[in-house]
Amino acid sequence: MASKDIQKEKNNRERILDFQYYFGKDADEWINKKQITKDKVVDTWRKKGSSEYPPQFCNKCNRYWAFALNSKHKKVGTYLKNSIFKGLRCNTVICNNCL
């Protein structure tokens, strides 16, 4: 897990260095380092297929849920309709609201 974090940091630094080279001495005025990190996270999330985040079942509240990307580009757990997913075999994982 730590090696993935190190790789992400390295990629972010490389992207920032590319922008600094391109913009030259005025680079700090043009580069928003927080936005670069956020954009990379959102791009990574969007490139994943929906099969990588299958529906889960919470046995405490008896509801199905899965991960989704909200309007603020954060990965959150959302509930799915029981009428559609009822009886679906899936992993039993306690949802964030029941933790």
Q: Which residue has the tokens 């992993």?
A: 91
How large is the C-alpha radius of gyration of the chain?
Answer: 19
63 pLDDT above the threshold of 90: yes
pTM beyond 0.75: the answer is no
> What pLDDT score does 48 carry?
64
Domain shared by 38 and 21, yes or no: yes
Domain shared by 82 and 64, yes or no: yes
Range of the structural domain that residue 26 is part of: 2-47
Domain shared by 57 and 39, yes or no: no
Task: Classify residue 64: in a domain, yes or no.
Answer: yes
> What pLDDT score does 39 carry?
59
Strand stretches in 3-47, DSSP E? none
Domain shared by 21 and 55, yes or no: no
For the chain, the 3-state helix, strand and coil shares in percent, each to the nearest 5, are: 50, 15, 30
Task: Classify residue 99: in a domain, yes or no.
Answer: no
Mean local confidence (pLDDT), 19-38: 66
* Domain count within the chain: 2
